[in-house]
C-alpha cells in the first residue's frame, strides 16, 4: 500500500468517526447508541471480540452491525419493524369469530346457560371450531385486533315501574338527609 493510499484511508476513517460521534450525541435511544458505539469501536480498529466485551452484545450481533454498516451505512443500523409471531387464525376465521360474537350469544353456539361472551368462552369456541388454543392474554389480543373490547354486562330491570322508582329515590334522599 502506498503512503498516499494510507493517508486517504485514514482521512476517510476520521470523517466516518466524526460522523458516528455526531450521530451518537444526537440519539436519545439506548439501542441506537449501542449500535453506533459498536461502529465507533470498529472504526477505531478494535476487534469484534474486544467490542463484544466492551459494549456487551455477543460477537455475532457485533458482526452483524458491522456488516450492515459496511453495506448500507448509518441507515443500515436502524432496526426495522419486528413482524411478531405468525397469526394462529386466518383472516376468514377471525372475521367469523367477530361475526359470531357480535350476532350470537354463547348459548346459541353450544354453551348452555351462558348469555355473555368472555375471554374463556371465546377461547373454548375457537378450540372447538378451529382446533387452535389461545391463552387468556392471547385471546385478549385477538379481540383487540378485531376492535372488540371486553366489558362487564350491566343489568337493568326492564319490567320495573318508573313511578315506584321515582318514589323510592325521593324517600332515599330524605333518609340520607336524616342522618
Same structural domain, 39 and 69: yes
Confidence of residue 171 (pLDDT cuts 50, 70, 90): confident
The reported pLDDT for the residue numbered 4 is: 42
Q: Are residues 107 and 132 in the same domain?
A: yes
Q: pLDDT for 20-34, tens place per residue?
A: 889 889 989 999 999
Helix axes 30-43, 59-72, angle to 10 degrees: 80
Residues 104-151: pLDDT tens digits? 999 999 988 888 899 999 999 999 999 999 999 999 999 999 999 877
Are 55 and 37 spatial neighbours (Cβ–Cβ below 8 Å)? yes
Are 104 and 57 members of one domain? no
* Claim to verify: residue 67 and residue 36 sit in the same structural domain: yes
Evaluate whether residue 66 is within a structural domain: yes
pLDDT of residue 103: 92
Q: Is residue 104 part of a domain?
A: yes
The verdict on residue 62 lying in a domain is: yes
Residue 155 domain-assigned (yes or no): no
Residues 73, 19 share a domain: yes
pLDDT of 68-98, one tens digit each? 999 998 888 888 877 778 889 999 999 999 9
Answer for the pair 89, 132: CB distance below 8 angstroms, yes or no.
Answer: yes
Can you tell me whether residue 85 is helix, strand or coil? coil
* Residue 159 forms part of a structural domain: no
Yes or no: say if 77 and 36 are a contact pair by the CB < 8 Å rule.
yes
More confident residue, 135 or 165: 135
C-alpha to C-alpha distance for 74 and 163, rounded to whole angstroms: 74
How many domains are contained in the chain?
Answer: 2
Tell whether 10 is covered by a domain.
Answer: yes
Domain that holds residue 18: 3-77
Instruction: Verify that 95 and 73 share a domain, yes or no.
Output: no
Q: Would residue 127 count as lying in a domain?
A: yes
How does pLDDT run across 34-61, given as a tens digit for each residue?
999 999 999 888 999 999 999 988 999 9
Q: Is 103 found in the same domain as 44?
A: no
Domain-located, residue 114: yes
Amino acid at each position: 500500500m502506498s503512503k498516499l493510499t494510507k493517508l486517504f484511508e485514514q482521512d476517510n476513517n476520521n470523517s466516518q468517526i466524526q460522523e458516528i460521534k455526531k450521530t451518537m450525541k444526537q440519539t436519545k435511544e439506548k439501542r441506537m447508541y449501542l449500535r453506533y458505539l459498536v461502529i465507533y469501536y470498529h472504526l477505531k480498529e478494535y476487534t469484534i471480540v474486544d467490542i463484544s466485551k466492551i459494549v456487551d452484545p455477543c460477537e455475532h450481533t457485533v458482526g452483524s452491525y458491522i456488516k450492515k454498516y459496511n453495506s448500507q451505512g448509518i441507515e443500515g443500523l436502524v432496526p426495522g419493524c419486528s413482524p411478531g409471531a405468525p397469526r394462529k387464525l386466518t383472516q376468514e376465521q377471525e372475521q367469523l369469530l367477530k361475526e359470531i360474537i357480535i350476532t350470537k350469544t354463547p348459548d346459541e353456539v353450544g354453551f348452555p346457560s351462558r348469555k355473555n361472551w368472555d375471554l374463556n368462552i371465546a377461547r373454548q369456541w375457537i378450540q372447538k371450531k378451529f382446533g387452535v388454543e389461545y391463552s387468556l392474554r392471547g385471546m385478549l389480543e385477538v379481540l383487540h385486533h378485531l376492535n372488540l373490547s371486553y366489558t362487564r354486562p350491566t343489568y337493568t330491570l326492564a319490567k320495573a315501574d318508573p313511578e315506584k322508582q321515582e318514589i323510592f329515590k325521593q324517600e332515599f334522599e330524605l333518609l340520607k338527609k336524616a342522618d
